[in-house]
């Protein structure tokens, strides 16, 4: 099992994300007049960025050998930008489109500015680490923002007539999946210091949890895109 995850973890993850991205493209016409179209863009963005994030493997294989020994070789900087920062910024934009409370929308705008400022300041003060590691502070801050957004949306749904047809709502599936995914994966961030090749048992467990979480989330997104009906917002 260890050898399997060492060799195929990234390929399996890439296939699952690719399935969601291709399905999103197929379903674009159905949702192009709703905020779901922005989520479709996001799924394609994640797929493309994950593909680019594989470049360290091309360095070790010799194709990009000219980057070997440079600060760009590890690839942490790219994941920090496109996922740790990019993901919360997208979800703040997305939930501003579907949350109805004017007060909450104002709070989201403030959170967006604070989060971006915090991220830039953290990177500026720890610039060398930017290329050598993930910033758990940025990651945790971003994930708690997404939890807040998901919680507000689900609360609004419970307080409105939307709850009647929640099983056909793309927004519900997005929110429910993100809630479950974050509750499962966020605790692992606190154990990131143990993620190294000196403890392969933890590394494999870490990969298994993330793969199963991603598998559940992206396949649910795939199902929801095919199953749900467009909502006018």
Q: How long, in residues, is the chain?
A: 233
- d(CA 48, CA 32) in angstroms, rounded, equals 20
Domain that holds residue 188: 2-227
Tokens of 145: 């923002």
| pLDDT value for 72 | 75
Q: Which residue has tokens 């993850």?
A: 13
CA–CA dist 187, 29 (Å, integer): 38
- 98 in any annotated domain: yes
pLDDT band at 67 (very low <50, low <70, confident <90, very high): low
Model confidence band, residue 119 (pLDDT cutoffs 50, 70, 90): very high
Which residues are within 8 A (CB) of 84 and not within 5 positions of it... i.e. 6 or more apart? 119, 134, 135, 138, 139, 142
Closest CA to 95 of 157, 137, 19, 180: 157
Whether residue 198 has pLDDT greater than 90:
no
- pLDDT band (50, 70, 90) for residue 26: very high
> Does some domain include residue 233?
no
Ranges 73-77, 98-102, 196-200: which has the least confidence: 196-200
Tell me, yes or no, whether 100 lies in a domain.
yes
Tokens standing for residue 168: 């056909």
Q: Give a yes or no: residue 202 inside a domain.
A: yes
Residue reference for tokens 């060492």: 6
pLDDT at position 60 over 70: no
Answer for the pair 77, 131: CB distance below 8 angstroms, yes or no. yes
Average pLDDT over residues 163-189: 90
Q: Establish if 125 belongs to a structural domain.
A: yes
In a domain, 126, yes or no: yes
- Across the chain, what does the average pLDDT equal? 86
Establish if 204 belongs to a structural domain.
Answer: yes
Confidence at residue 6, expressed as pLDDT on a 0 to 100 scale: 62
Count of the separate structural domains present in the chain: 1
pTM, 2 dp: 0.90
Q: What is the mean pLDDT of residues 173-188?
A: 91
Mean pLDDT of 117-146: 91
Decide if 232 is inside a domain: no
């Amino acid at each position: 099992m260890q050898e399997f995850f060492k060799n195929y973890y990234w390929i399996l993850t890439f296939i699952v994300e690719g399935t969601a991205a291709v399905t999103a493209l197929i379903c674009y016409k159905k949702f192009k007049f709703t905020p779901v179209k922005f989520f479709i863009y996001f799924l394609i963005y994640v797929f493309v960025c994950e593909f680019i994030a594989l470049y360290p493997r091309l360095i070790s294989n010799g194709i990009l050998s000219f980057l070997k020994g440079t600060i760009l070789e590890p690839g942490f900087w790219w994941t920090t930008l496109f996922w740790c920062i990019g993901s919360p910024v997208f979800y703040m934009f997305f939930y501003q489109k579907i949350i109805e409370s004017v007060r909450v929308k104002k709070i989201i705008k403030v959170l967006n500015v604070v989060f971006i400022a915090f991220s830039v300041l953290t990177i500026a003060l720890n610039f060398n680490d930017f290329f050598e590691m993930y910033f758990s502070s940025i990651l945790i801050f971003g994930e708690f923002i997404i939890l807040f957004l998901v919680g507000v949306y689900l609360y609004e749904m419970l307080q409105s007539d939307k709850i009647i047809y929640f099983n056909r709502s793309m927004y519900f599936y997005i929110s429910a999946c993100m809630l479950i995914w974050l509750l499962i994966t966020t605790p692992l961030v606190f154990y990131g210091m143990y993620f190294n090749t000196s403890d392969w048992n933890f590394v494999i467990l870490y990969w298994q949890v993330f793969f199963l979480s991603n598998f559940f989330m992206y396949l649910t997104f795939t199902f929801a895109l095919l199953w749900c009906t467009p909502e006018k917002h």
